[in-house]
Structure 1
């Protein structure tokens, strides 16, 4: 079973169409649920989730934070309330395309690792030239320092086992470093090229300031975690029983 976890704030105009697309993409493919975490919205994002779920006849959970705590905390809330073995995350603004989820799901049959992450790669981004420049610069700096092998860590579309995510160290903004954190615990990271679309409603919650300066601090923290990680490989194991 897949739990599609969507963190969102003030996305009343986007969340309904996004949920309909998720239902269309996954109907008949696998059992699924949609878990939307309303991160302290000022609009009726929560109510729109409930209304859309009833309209589509799909299994959905709506959770509302009393006040905004940020995207990473919203994802953590969603994963904790999810029932699926696998988690798919995507942004509530509609720029991630649910039609890409089946291809990521198909990759599961080729993965043997217990812990892993399939990370979306927005190869052809629809953002402004300035925003694309920021992302390219940030991704090059991040990859040079963390060597996580991911060309686009900012893409919200990812698939990973629920168990894997709950083993990761939690901190604010950690959702941007899931591949690096998965590698830190000895897991594997895979890349899936995905579509990227224009935002239809609302405005972005991120600016150049909060992306760059907070990102530098976060990268240093992830580097610290990575250098102190030790992954044990079991050489031998035996269990004895009475009788």
Structure 2
């Protein structure tokens, strides 16, 4: 089968969320506006998530997986998936199901005009501490990147794979996907999407890693921006 769109799902210790995640992904596939496959990336889970993922992918068409030997972080999981992807378009979704696969249909129609479309969780269903820490981290990022996105941390995005593959690997890259598309002279936008309470498991984030992590990663981004070369090949003789 020829696929047009790959949904990437980074997973780290989300065993309790996986059964419902699998159901929602399977239900979305027949409704998707593009021919779609799923790539689950287990980031060194220690709770049995990787075993569930491998078994599910063996038993279900349109599903594949990458299993890390240890925990490397969401940025590494996304970068590995970008490099592995062979479809024209890709998107990503968190395993905690605070955003739903069906909402890709709010973003995908805009990929003709834009190179990246990100969700905006305008009505967050999170704790007060999580909302405040995210707002602070978001404000810091905008000061460094000027990407003007309200919610770059939203775990629902779609983009053209050709742009994603040119994003270099660095820690925290998931926070800078819109900014990295801008470095390639790409065009970005955001769309309001619903946000849902976490059904199971626990959040992997705290005020410390939502504030200090983004702050330190911003300095890495500044270095990356100065060093980044957006080359284009005029011709190739293979």
Query: Fold conserved (TM > 0.5)?
Result: yes
- Specify the SS of the correspondent of 1:124: coil
The 5 Å alignment of 1:84-95 reads 84-95=87-98
Please give the alpha-carbon distance, in whole angstroms, between the structure 2 residues aligned to 1:146 and 1:155: 17
1:67 aligned residue: 70
Shift of 1:124: 0.5
1:101 aligned residue: 104
Please give the alpha-carbon distance, in whole angstroms, between the structure 1 residues aligned to 2:14 and 2:66: 14
- Compare CA radii of gyration and give the structure with the larger one: 1
Kept after mapping to 1: 8 A contact 2:175/2:214 = no
- Specify the SS of the correspondent of 2:204: coil
Shift of 1:22: 2.4
Please give the alpha-carbon distance, in whole angstroms, between the structure 1 residues aligned to 2:47 and 2:228: 42
Please give the alpha-carbon distance, in whole angstroms, between the structure 1 residues aligned to 2:66 and 2:145: 33
Structure-2 change in CA distance of 1:146 and 1:110 (3 Å): closer
Kindly tell me the number of residue pairs found equivalent between the two proteins.
231
Kept after mapping to 1: 8 A contact 2:93/2:155 = yes
Q: Does 1:48 align with 2:52?
A: yes
Task: Indicate which of 41, 44, 63 corresponds to 1:37.
Answer: 41
The 5 Å alignment of 1:13-24 reads 13-24=16-27
Q: Which sections of structure 1, spanning at least 5 residues, go unmatched?
A: none
Deviation string 1:10-64 (CA, Å, 9 cap, x unpaired) is: 1112123123212323314221111111111112222323444566x44111221
Task: Indicate which of 5, 16, 21 corresponds to 1:2.
Answer: 5
1:143 aligned residue: 142
Structure-2 change in CA distance of 1:84 and 1:200 (3 Å): same
TM normalised by structure 2 equals 0.88
Please give the alpha-carbon distance, in whole angstroms, between the structure 1 residues aligned to 2:166 and 2:80: 14
Kept after mapping to 2: 8 A contact 1:38/1:64 = yes
Shift of 1:176: 0.8
Deviation string 1:182-237 (CA, Å, 9 cap, x unpaired) is: 11121111111111111111111111112211211111221233345566899xx8
Please give the alpha-carbon distance, in whole angstroms, between the structure 2 residues aligned to 1:230 and 1:68: 29
Kept after mapping to 2: 8 A contact 1:23/1:58 = no
1:212 aligned residue: 211
Please give the alpha-carbon distance, in whole angstroms, between the structure 1 residues aligned to 2:136 and 2:50: 35
TM normalised by structure 1 equals 0.86
Q: Does 1:26 align with 2:29?
A: yes
Kept after mapping to 2: 8 A contact 1:104/1:192 = yes
Kept after mapping to 2: 8 A contact 1:25/1:101 = no
Deviates more, 1:39-48 or 1:69-78: 39-48
Please give the alpha-carbon distance, in whole angstroms, between the structure 2 residues aligned to 1:21 and 1:202: 17
